[in-house]
Structures are given as structure tokens and as C-alpha cells.
Amino acid sequence: MQRCQKILEHPLFRQCMERINSKEKGRKFCLHNIEHSLDTARIGYITILENKLPVDKELFYAAALLHDTGRYSGKPHHEAGAEIAMTVMPDCGFSIEETEAAAAAILGHRTKNTGGILTSVLYDADKRSRLCFSCRAAGECYWPEGKRNNKINV
């Protein structure tokens, strides 16, 4: 997990997270902070282990850490996040193949069934990390009822 530690320390990653935190200060809906990214990583990796999926732990964590980094950019965050991954991951020791796989997963993480295993697990973990069943802003949320995580999914 040394390469993921390098992501956490990378100046561009830190800058993205600071901008997201600043932009979302006072937001009552779901946040896109480091806690969300780590929740997504952990839930996804549990899925990988339980289903014996052929996905490398560090690669999945990298994709999960970077999946929302583009939220501050002003363009679709999945597109910006994929671009950020293409910059950050090679700096942290990931191969071009790993970087492209993570970027593809980030690019596809907003739509169900748009890619391979990595994308699918990232999509699912991203949604399952949301605690809609205990959200104080649920009555004002724009997410359709069918997308909400209203129960514990294990």
C-alpha cells in the first residue's frame, strides 16, 4: 500500500481534496471527502475479497481514492478525475496499464455496468458507502429513491 500512501501525499491529490472540502463546506448532502473515498475503498475491497475477484488491492484503493478528485474542476467530475488519475498514479509508481485501468474505472463509476470488474465494483462501493438511511437531508435529496442506499447492504 506504499503507492497509495504516495497518492495521499501527492500535491495534486492534496490540492483536489482541499478544493473539494472548501467547496463543500457547510453542505448538508453527501460529502466527497477523504472519509467517503476510504469508505468506498474499504467496501469495494470487501466485495473483491468476498467474491474472490481478480482485482489488486492497491489498484482498487488507488481508483477509490481518486474517483471524486475532479469534483471541484467545473467539468464532469468523472472525466476530470480520470485525468487527475493519469497524472497522479504514474508519479506514485503505478504502471501505465494500472493507471489506465483505474482511469477507466473512474470514468465509468457513475453508470452501472459500463465497464469491467474494477469499474463495476467501484460503482457499487461508491453507492453503498452512502448512508441514506440515516441522512438528515434525505427529504431534500435529489437522488431518486431507487438509487438511495436505504438499508445496510452486505
The verdict on residue 122 lying in a domain is: yes
The verdict on residue 40 lying in a domain is: yes
Output the domain CATH number for residue 115.
Answer: 1.10.3210.10
64 vs 78 pLDDT, higher one: 64
The verdict on residue 152 lying in a domain is: no
**Would you say the C-alpha torsion 70, 20, 134, 62 has a positive or negative sign?**
positive
> What pLDDT is attached to residue 30?
72
> What pLDDT is attached to residue 72?
83
The verdict on residue 127 lying in a domain is: yes
Q: CB count, 10 Å around CB of 154?
A: 8
The verdict on residue 153 lying in a domain is: no
pLDDT tens-digit map of 22-54: 887 876 667 677 898 999 999 999 999 999 999
The verdict on residue 108 lying in a domain is: yes
Per the structure, the count of domains in the chain is: 1
The range of the structural domain enclosing residue 6 comes to 2-23+30-147
The verdict on residue 50 lying in a domain is: yes
pLDDT tens-digit map of 93-143: 999 999 999 999 999 866 767 779 999 999 999 988 887 677 677 777 777
